[in-house]
């Protein structure tokens, strides 16, 4: 196995996540696309950990996992609050600050 | 080595197909289930790289907890359970151009830095959990504590935000 395989897989997965964040309208789907990007980063970290034969990459992958879980918790709470106030979870409807 | 490359190829194809399903699906629940496939494929790639502990933590935390949280979010925001046409905004083509542009830049930079064929990963044996835990609890004890406080703060914050007064 080559390191490049994993790096390219991570890059493609990250770009699919970027596409999802740019294109999706529903806020839960945007959060899912962000999870795609975090998963891509984890693949890179673990691949470098195996390449350099150093466990630091795996330790950081675990930190990324933890922070992703915290992010989803707070993010869904915010989505819930937006839904309660606006009766909609679409990001296009959150335009109170628009002039 | 051949078997590992074949396994990588199958897993990578499944991951990318499911990831495209996440961003293209017309049904919110299907998108969440496609995300399960992406994360399970990622865990399988970790096992391929000898990182068994990270793989099982990924299965437990992501597939066990985060997906359930997403499904709760879908239910609580009363997102349409059936297929809908207006899940995407009207930036589909600009978004595609931006994503392809980023993919081109990233892959050309990566292939420029790490030449194809010169970066063989030599796996001796799977990483033992003892090594990871001793790295976390010795070298990275301060980040570990900070992450603990962050989790507590996000827990309190999420309860505070979602609470009905």
For chain B, the residue count is 165
What percentage of chain B carries pLDDT values higher than 90?
60
In angstroms, the Cα distances linking B13 to B18, B41, B45, B56 are 9, 10, 12, 21
Average pLDDT for chain A = 91
Residue B122 has pLDDT above 90, yes or no: no
Q: Check CB contact of B23 with chain A, cutoff 8 Å.
A: yes
Band (B16; pLDDT cuts 50, 70, 90): very high
The residue in chain A having the minimum alpha-carbon distance to the alpha carbon of residue B143 is A63
Band (B144; pLDDT cuts 50, 70, 90): very high
ipTM of the complex: 0.91
* DSSP code at position B122: -
Give B156→chain A minimum CA distance, Å.
9
Give B3→chain A minimum CA distance, Å.
10
> Across the interface, do B87 and A43 touch by the CB < 8 Å criterion?
no
- Tell me the whole-structure pTM to 2 decimals: 0.91
Quick one: tokens of B47?
A: 């096992």
Give A38→chain B minimum CA distance, Å.
10
The tokens 């505070």 sit on which residue?
A: B160
A24 contacts B88 by C-beta, under 8 angstroms: yes
Q: Where does chain B have alpha helices with state H?
A: 2-24, 28-48, 52-58, 67-76, 92-113, 129-134, 141-162
**Distance between CA atoms of A86 and A78, rounded to whole angstroms?**
12
In angstroms, the Cα distances linking A83 to A87, B84, B86, B138, B150 are 5, 18, 17, 44, 25
Q: Give me the pLDDT at residue B76, please.
A: 85
Residue A65 has pLDDT above 80, yes or no: yes
Q: Check CB contact of A89 with chain B, cutoff 8 Å.
A: yes
Q: Check CB contact of B65 with chain A, cutoff 8 Å.
A: yes
Residue B81 has pLDDT above 80, yes or no: no
Residue B86 has pLDDT above 90, yes or no: no
Quick one: tokens of B14?
A: 């499944």
The residue in chain B having the minimum alpha-carbon distance to the alpha carbon of residue A14 is B103
Q: Give me the pLDDT at residue B41, please.
A: 95
Q: Which member of A36, A58, A76 has the closest CB to residue B132?
A: A58
pLDDT per position as a tens digit, A6-63: 999 999 999 999 999 999 988 899 999 999 999 999 999 999 999 998 899 999 999 9
A14 contacts B101 by C-beta, under 8 angstroms: no
Of B43, B127, B41, nearest in space to A50 by CA: B127
Q: Which member of A3, A29, A58 has the closest CB to residue B54?
A: A58
């Amino acid at each position: 196995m080559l390191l490049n395989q994993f790096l390219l897989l991570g890059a493609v997965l990250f770009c699919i996540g970027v596409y999802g964040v740019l294109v999706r309208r529903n806020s839960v789907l945007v959060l899912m696309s962000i999870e795609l990007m975090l998963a891509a980063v984890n693949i890179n970290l673990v691949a470098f950990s195996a390449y350099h034969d150093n466990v630091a990459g795996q330790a950081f992958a675990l930190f990324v996992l933890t922070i992703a879980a915290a992010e989803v918790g707070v993010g869904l709470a915010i989505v819930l609050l937006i839904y309660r106030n606006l009766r909609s979870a679409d990001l296009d409807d959150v335009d109170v600050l628009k002039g | 080595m051949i078997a590992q490359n074949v396994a990588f190829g199958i897993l990578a194809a499944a991951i990318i197909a499911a990831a495209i399903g996440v961003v293209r699906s017309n049904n919110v629940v299907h998108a969440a289930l496609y995300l399960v496939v992406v994360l399970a494929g990622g865990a399988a790639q970790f096992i391929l790289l000898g990182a068994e502990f990270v793989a099982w933590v990924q299965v437990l935390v992501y597939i066990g907890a985060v997906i359930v949280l997403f499904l709760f979010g879908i239910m609580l925001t009363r997102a349409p359970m059936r297929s809908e046409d207006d899940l995407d905004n009207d930036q589909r083509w600009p978004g595609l151009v931006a994503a392809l542009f980023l993919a081109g830049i990233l892959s050309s930079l990566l292939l420029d830095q790490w030449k194809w064929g010169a970066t063989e990963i030599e796996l001796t044996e799977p990483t033992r959990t003892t090594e990871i835990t001793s790295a976390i609890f010795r070298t990275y004890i301060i980040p570990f504590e900070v992450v603990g406080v962050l989790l507590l703060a996000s827990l309190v914050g999420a309860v505070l935000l979602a609470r009905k007064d």
